Amino acid sequence: MTARMTNPATILPGMVKAVPHLLGAVETAGIPVVLRELIGLRISQINGCAACVYAHAANLRAEDESTDRLDTLPVWRESPFFTDAERAALALAESATRLADSPTDAVLDAVWDEAADHFDEKELAGLIVLIGTMNFFNRLNVTIKEPAGVTW
């Protein structure tokens, strides 16, 4: 499989400069690398982004993440391998990714309150920017059919 075109993030000069700033800002929020990668992987699974699923899974393996957690991430609610804070972050990520799935508030107060119980304002800001950025990249990659195995 080949992509429909070169990735727009590499074609537009402003994007090449913007991406490190976005991801760098998220890093300053103090969210652990493994949690950032779990969130990226889960969002990418939901959005069907093969390139990002591949990349986040590879990053998690490089962090020595357990196969139990990698294998059960799609069913994290029923898996005993995630902390309460990780569950809160994953719930927030799923809600903010599946915006159209809720007939009223896309991110319910209960989801927000649970995340706020585990993360301070700076960490919540980082989570929100991370979730938005991952969804943005997924939409680019899915649109151009970026294949798994591509690295940037």
Say what the pLDDT of residue 151 is.
63
Contact 46, 53 (CB under 8 A): no
Give the three-state DSSP class for 22: helix
What pLDDT, in 10s, does the model give residues 61-82? 999 999 999 999 999 999 999 9
Which residue ranges make up each domain of the chain? 8-144
Rounded to whole angstroms, how far apart are CA atoms 130 and 19?
11
8-144 maps to CATH 1.20.1290.10:
yes
Percentage of the chain lying above the pLDDT 90 cut = 84
pLDDT of 150 higher than 80:
no
Rounded to whole angstroms, how far apart are CA atoms 138 and 15?
15
Give the burial class of 30: count Cβ atoms within 10 A of its Cβ; 0-12 exposed, 13-18 middle, 19 or more buried: exposed
Angle formed at CA 43 by CA 98 and CA 48, multiple of 5 degrees: 90
pLDDT of 2 higher than 70:
yes
Rounded to whole angstroms, how far apart are CA atoms 112 and 66?
28
pLDDT of 59 higher than 80:
yes
pLDDT, mean of residues 121-129: 98
